[in-house]
A and B are shown apart, each in its own frame.
Chain A
Amino acid sequence: MSAREHFAEHRRFYIGISSVIVLVLAWELILTYIFPVNPFFFTKPSLIATAFKEQIQGAKLWHDLAVSSQAFIWGFSFAVIVGIPVGLVMGWRRRVEYSLDPFLTALYASPLVALAPLFIIVFGVGVLGKAALVFLLAVFPFVFNTFAGVKSTDSLLINVIHSFGGGEKDLYVKVILPSTLPYIIAGARLAIGRGLVGIIVGEFYAASEGIGFAISQAGDTYRLPEMFVGIIILSLIAVALTELMRKLELTIAPWRAGEEVR
């Protein structure tokens, strides 16, 4: 394969990476030569890079990440465990849909982070409070996407199962769940973003450790490079988790590969 063919095939990657490099260089050069701002008020990539190196060699960053991850994993796991079954039953049982709909719609539409103080009061400043906040934010994408997936299940396939004498359990296992899976994964992508917001807000509001706390503390004390390190690490985690979901979708729903239009 010639270099040109190689480039053509991975065009998306190369163009994407170039635009990131251009932006970082421009940021660095502008702040160094055109507007040399006091590093106390704004920072530039070279300083962030130095801070990054220091941080990943130290123990505090890893401790903060471990603390935040713990809350995230608990909250997110419960969102999966509660959200998917609720969405499934809501989609299939009209009475459940009608009775839950008003609460869910109201809660989904409201800025739930406003409940952060309440959660911290009820569940405390530790892992539990943050996990509860993550759960609250992440559960709705699971409920609503699962619900939408069930609703969009092809009625022909339901007839197929019925026509072979299949019961309700067969419907769930053989049709509704697999046809809803891609929706659930799309919901998971949304839930990841919202869950990370939950962590950060929880730690901004009341915490003594964690990545959100580290960001807010660095900001409060004008250590901008350190603050950016936290932000960059958060976005890397978000991107990695989202990408993981995409891979997961291709693994558990290989039939979608042929249907997806780019």
Chain B
Amino acid sequence: MTLFIQAQNLTLCFRPKNREPVTALTDLSLAVARGEFVRIVGPSGCGKSTFLNIVLGLIRQDSGTLELNGTPITGPSQERAMVFQEFGLLPWRTVAANVELGLELKGTPAAERAKRTAELIKLVGLNGFESHYPHELSGGMKQRVGLARALATEPEVLLMDEPFAALDAQTRDLLQMELLQIWEHTKKTVLFENHSIEEAAYLSDRVIVMTARPGRTKDVLQIDLPRPRDYEMRLTPEFNEIKLRIWEVLKDELSSRSYT
């Protein structure tokens, strides 16, 4: 396995004014291969989001190294794109204009942007909604726009920060399945964080379990279920066994939470 993303001993401490410093990450190390779908699970507040933001290039670690394909990550770049939990759509832009945002910032010519946008809108199943504004869309549709926008710039790494957390259970299931299809089709490297064990087991090649804050890698579990995976697979004993394994690793962290 060739290493694509490699994090070694990442440490980050937030020092908010007039408040106690918070150590978000200590000695977080992990490695991801190209094209892998990796889930990061951990108790809420364990620093998962912080880690994704470091990979995205929005914040810098205090110490440790983070490399993408052998090059240190020092800031944002269009080779990495994030699907945000709260969508992050610009309310004054239509669906099409939102999907185009990254291409626009990259300086892609208008004709090419339009073509690429149309493809992506089709890919995420939003045909006919191109000129709708975000406030006219359901939560699930908004996140489809978020996903299309992230894919538009053809990033090598797709970062997903609990992207389906704000959606209802059925929409979440549906989008998980569609995401899986899109991933099988595009073979991006995906770092997906959430705290649902079920979703982690269902969608990933590997599940990285993080400790409670300050976050560290606690364990890495290989998920050797056949692909493509479908909904029925979730009812098999093998699937449940994997869920149990993840739970075994995670449960101590949930009970040792030192904050509320």
- A residues apposed to B, CB below 8 Å: 156-157, 159-166, 170, 174-175, 178-179, 181, 253-255, 258-259
Contact = CB atoms under 8 A, between A and B. Distances in A.
A179 B90 CA distance: 9
A200 B87 CA distance: 49
Contact of A258 (B90, B104, B136): B136
B139 interface: no
Given A164-B105, A170-B105, A258-B136, A156 B76 contact: no
A166 B105 contact: yes
Point out which of B76, B84, B105, B133 has the most chain A C-beta atoms below 10 A from its C-beta: B105
B216 to A, nearest CB: 25
A38 to B, nearest CB: 59
B135 interface: yes
A163 B91 CA distance: 18
B88 A157 contact: yes
B81 interface: yes
Contacts, number: 58
A179 B134 CA distance: 14
28 contacts: A156-B84, A156-B88, A157-B90, A159-B58, A159-B84, A160-B84, A160-B90, A160-B101, A163-B82, A164-B78, A164-B81, A164-B102, A164-B106, A165-B77, A165-B105, A165-B106, A170-B105, A174-B90, A174-B101, A174-B104, A178-B90, A178-B92, A179-B91, A179-B92, A253-B92, A254-B133, A255-B92, A255-B134
B153 interface: yes
Interface string B202-224: 00000000000000000000000
A161 B58 CA distance: 11
B86 interface: yes
Interface of B: 56-58, 76-78, 80-82, 84, 86, 88, 90-92, 101-102, 104-106, 133-136, 153
Given A157-B88, A164-B101, 6 more contacts: A159-B58, A160-B90, A163-B82, A164-B153, A165-B106, A178-B90
A99 B147 CA distance: 42
A175 B90 CA distance: 7
Closest CB pairs A-B (n = 10): A258-B135, A178-B92, A164-B102, A160-B88, A166-B105, A164-B105, A255-B91, A255-B133, A156-B88, A165-B76
Contacts of A259: 91, 135
A160 B78 CA distance: 12
Point out which of B77, B80, B90 has the most chain A C-beta atoms below 10 A from its C-beta: B90
Contacts of B84: 156, 159-160
Point out which of A159, A164, A166, A253 has the most chain B C-beta atoms below 10 A from its C-beta: A164
Contacts of A156: 84, 86, 88
Given A156-B86, A255-B133, A258-B133, A162 B91 contact: no
A162 B76 CA distance: 7
A163 B58 contact: yes
Contacts of B101: 160, 164, 174
Contacts of A179: 91-92
B22 to A, nearest CB: 18
A73 B94 CA distance: 34
B135 A163 contact: no
Contacts of A181: 92
A121 to B, nearest CB: 46
Contacts of A258: 133, 135-136
Contacts of A165: 76-78, 105-106
B94 to A, nearest CB: 9
Contacts of A160: 84, 88, 90, 101
B135 A161 contact: no
